[in-house]
Amino acid sequence: MSTPYNPVCVANYIVDYVNKKDKKINNLKLQKILYFIQARKLVESDKPMFSGEIQKWKLGPVSPDVYHTFKMYGSKDINDTEPVLVSSDNPDAIFSGYEIHHFNADTDITNPIDRKLIEDTVDKLVDENPFDLVEITHQHEIWKVDEDKINNGGYNISYTNDEIKDFFTKSGEDAQIWL
């Protein structure tokens, strides 16, 4: 696979990496780390790390695809990767045009530069309290601009890659907490 990667594949890479390091990650923390990984990739290469949208939820940025994949853990730690449906030309695929893909670190995130970016960002943020990460994202102008809508039940409010890149580029080291 190449960038932009499937967001669940990136999430699985993070979960696998964190568990191998005997650290802990729940869905809330995973969501915030994904957001900062996406921001970092956009700032450093002008390309997204993963496809799909990141939405503005009450507890900050969320990849809906990843959220729904791991929501069965609730607030508990995620201890394993999850299969993902990926598009396929395989005529024997169970679902027309799709097949179930099981995580493989060697083939899911193929670029060593992307792996390093993910691992370095995870190393920097994995020990943070997830609610501290939520609070940080709530201070970002790109979340605050929609805060009233979000808190009044608005949903399907998405970040754009351009606004993420612009915010983190203009805010510099103050927002780039992965440094």
- Cross-strand pairs, 86: 99
Tell me what pLDDT residue 146 has: 98
Give the residue-averaged pLDDT of 98-127: 92
Neighbours of 1 (CB within 10 A): 15
Sign of CA dihedral 157, 161, 166, 167: positive
Residue 93 has pLDDT above 70, yes or no: no
Percentages of the chain per state (helix, strand, coil), in multiples of 5: 50, 10, 35
Q: What is the DSSP letter of 5?
A: B
Element containing residue 84 per DSSP (H, E): strand 84-87
- pLDDT for the residue 2: 62
| Distance in angstroms (rounded) separating the CA atoms of residues 40 and 21 | 22
User: Beta partners for 60?
Assistant: 57
Q: What's the pLDDT tens digit per position in 26-60?
A: 999 999 999 999 999 999 999 999 999 999 999 99
Quick one: pLDDT at residue 1? Answer: 55
Q: What are the tens digits of pLDDT across the range 140-169? A: 999 999 999 999 999 999 999 999 999 999
Report the Cα 133 to chain-centroid distance in Å: 13
Q: What is the dihedral of CA 48, 51, 56, 58, to 10 degrees?
A: -110
Alpha helix (H) ranges present in 21-155? 27-45, 64-70, 105-108, 112-125, 130-138, 141-144, 147-151
DSSP H helices in 6-93:
7-20, 27-45, 64-70
Burial (0-12, 13-18, 19+ Cβ within 10 Å), 172: exposed
Q: Map out the domains of the chain as residue ranges.
A: 7-169
